């Protein structure tokens, strides 16, 4: 075969050309019309490839049984790390000063009570980081009563959608404006005949109407009460001129595959040297037993036995190449090598120095904050719009559940005022901060008059500083009242001791005789009573500030006498002898 040329493609090329189309749904992707596939086909293929990498489907073929096929999923490790780094500390929402007494509390109820805030945020981060596009639907769930009679109030649902089931239609001249949105997916159900079969559900949303189809048959059509499509699209990494976003880890797919292939080659070398091929020349292998602590003897004079060796010389180079691939993945993802658990010495690095050290990661975080922050504000706008249509009573200030009302804040939201739907999203700093340093800085600013208590609480991560300040004021008032009540009781006890004994307890507990201090009318202690209190004077309302004071003083005197001298003698129990007769 002179002149023939053979091409042995490496595994990575074979994996790249294989069919790795998968989806979260076990039924795979839905059928698409030719026009839909032309528009959305490349996007869906990109989704399937990235989901395949995240779920560990890194190989396009299977090796023979018994041979190792290693998959080290750095793709998923990077995606999960970035999601936790961005949303691990949650997000907080604010509104303009005018609506701040009402809007933040309504958003807190929707995110925390009606939905699981952290789960929703992490699901949004995961979907966007893998596919590059995050779709979120905001819908209202009507109140209902279950089978045992329990009432479930209505709630606003925030629903992250599967990007592979979402088919938006954007305005041709405005890529941020949705004209039409279709959600289409398959699910298992029971037919009228009682058999299990696959159904295709389709929902079409426009500004005017909502239509639902089951197997292409219209089952419901109703007006859209919101007047706009209740779906928000968040591109993970924006691309100029395109409405679609990019995955966080799309660039390391080939690197992760190469890492797995080299790891598998190294495993083969180690496995080969653990069980090498033995070559026997001039003897019969049937008479030789291979194994540990075996001795071969009686071989012919010209016989020789040896193990095939090879490959170990390249082991060191392969290990260095692995390290280089791993470092390249970290550089492409802007994630430091120490971020995934690499051992590092403990240090007291300051927050500023840590930010400089993690600058590439902070750049990635800043980009995500810009994209998802804007998307979350649009979601909050849809949340408030649902409340305006379905629960208009929530637009009125409620002093029992809302924070304190300040000057300039309104007591009722106007559904027609755009400021009602305006919110701001705040992402806490992801890197650890030295709270002691921050507290000292805030204290210095407050001393110089450059910071308020409310601003200091916000800097410390408090979502509702007004309510926290009101809580602190209430606690201070309660502590002052408790301290005053305790002081009042102490003074009354001191007064009764002096009235009954004519002596004052000294600092060391000894009794100090007192010289009566006359106040002109025979009052010794300034209590309105001439001399020590008597039973008659204690019950005389003319000589006391009031019946409650007289009753309190009488109870204190009685309690002091009882505690000091007791009211009963100790009981005596007769001794019972062993031989005592009854």
Report DSSP letters for 184-243, one per residue: EEEEEEE-TTS-EEEEEEEEEE-SSEEEEEETTEEEEEEE-TTSS--EEEEESSEETTEE
Per-10-residue mean pLDDT of the chain, 582 residues long, equals: 38 39 42 71 88 89 84 94 92 91 92 95 95 95 92 94 92 89 89 87 94 92 94 94 91 93 86 71 70 70 71 75 92 86 61 75 92 95 95 91 83 93 91 73 83 81 76 84 80 75 67 56 49 54 54 71 60 54 46
Q: What per-residue confidence (pLDDT) applies to 508?
A: 64
DSSP per residue over 169-198, as a string?
A: EEETTEEEEEEEEEEEEEEEEE-TTS-EEE
Q: What is the pLDDT of residue 188?
A: 85
Q: What share of the chain is helix, strand, coil (3-state, %, to 5)?
A: 45, 15, 40
Degrees (nearest 5) of the Cα angle 373, 377, 383? 140
> Nearest 5 degrees, angle CA 530-CA 534-CA 540?
80
- What pLDDT score does 440 carry? 81
pTM of the entire structure?
0.71
CA distance 81 to 320: 25
Nearest to 165 by CA among 372, 24, 21: 24
């Amino acid at each position: 075969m002179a002149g023939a040329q053979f091409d042995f493609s490496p595994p990575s090329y074979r994996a790249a050309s294989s069919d790795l189309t998968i989806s979260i749904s076990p039924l795979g992707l839905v059928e698409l019309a030719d026009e839909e596939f032309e528009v959305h086909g490349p996007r869906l293929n990109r989704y399937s490839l990235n989901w395949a990498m995240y779920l560990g489907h890194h190989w396009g073929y299977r090796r023979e049984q018994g041979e190792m096929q290693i998959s080290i999923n750095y793709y998923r490790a990077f995606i999960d790390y970035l999601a936790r780094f961005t949303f691990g500390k949650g997000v907080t929402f604010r509104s303009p000063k005018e609506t701040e007494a009402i809007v933040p509390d309504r958003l807190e109820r929707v995110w925390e009570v009606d939905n699981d805030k952290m789960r929703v945020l992490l699901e949004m981060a995961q979907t966007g980081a893998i596919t590059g596009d995050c779709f979120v639907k905001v819908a209202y769930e009507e109140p209902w009563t279950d089978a045992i009679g329990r009432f479930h109030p209505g709630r606003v649902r925030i629903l992250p959608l599967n990007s592979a089931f979402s088919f938006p239609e954007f305005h041709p001249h405005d890529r941020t404006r949705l004209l039409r949105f279709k959600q289409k997916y398959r699910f298992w159900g029971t037919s009228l005949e009682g058999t299990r079969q696959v159904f295709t559900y389709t929902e079409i949303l426009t500004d005017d109407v909502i239509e639902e189809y089951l197997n292409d048959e219209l089952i419901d059509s109703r007006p859209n009460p919101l007047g706009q499509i209740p779906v928000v699209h968040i591109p993970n990494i924006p691309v100029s001129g395109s409405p679609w976003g990019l995955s966080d880890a799309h660039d390391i797919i080939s690197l992760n595959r190469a890492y797995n292939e080299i790891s598998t080659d190294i495993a083969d070398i180690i496995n080969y040297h653990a069980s090498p091929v033995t070559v026997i020349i001039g003897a019969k292998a049937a008479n030789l037993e291979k194994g540990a602590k075996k001795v071969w003897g009686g071989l012919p004079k010209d016989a020789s036995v040896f193990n095939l060796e090879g490959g170990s010389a390249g082991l060191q180079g392969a290990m260095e190449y692995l390290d280089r691939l791993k470092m390249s993945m970290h550089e492409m993802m802007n994630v430091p090598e120490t971020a995934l658990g690499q051992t590092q010495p403990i240090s007291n690095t300051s927050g500023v120095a840590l930010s400089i050290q993690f600058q590439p990661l902070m750049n990635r975080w800043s980009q995500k904050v810009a994209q998802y922050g804007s998307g979350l504000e649009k979601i909050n706008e849809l949340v408030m719009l649902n409340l305006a249509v379905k629960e208009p009573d929530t637009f009125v200030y409620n002093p029992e559940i809302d924070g304190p009302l300040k000057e300039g804040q309104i007591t009722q939201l106007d559904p027609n005022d755009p400021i009602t739907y305006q919110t701001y999203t705040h992402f806490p700093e992801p890197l650890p901060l030295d709270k002691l340093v921050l507290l000292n800085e805030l204290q210095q600013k407050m001393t110089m008059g450059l910071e308020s208590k409310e601003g200091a609480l916000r800097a410390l991560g408090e979502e509702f500083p007004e309510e926290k300040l009101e809580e602190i004021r209430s606690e201070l008032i309660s502590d002052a009242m408790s301290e005053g009540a305790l002081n009042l009781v102490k003074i009354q006890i001191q007064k009764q001791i002096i009235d009954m004994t004519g002596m004052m307890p000294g600092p060391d507990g000894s009794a100090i005789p007192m010289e009566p201090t006359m106040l002109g009318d025979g009052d010794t202690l300034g209590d309105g009573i001439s001399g020590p209190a008597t039973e008659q004077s204690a019950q005389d309302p003319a000589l006391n500030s009031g019946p409650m004071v007289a009753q309190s003083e009488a109870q204190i005197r009685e309690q002091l006498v009882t505690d000091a001298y007791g009211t009963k003698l100790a009981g005596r129990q007769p001794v019972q002898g062993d031989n005592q007769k009854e």
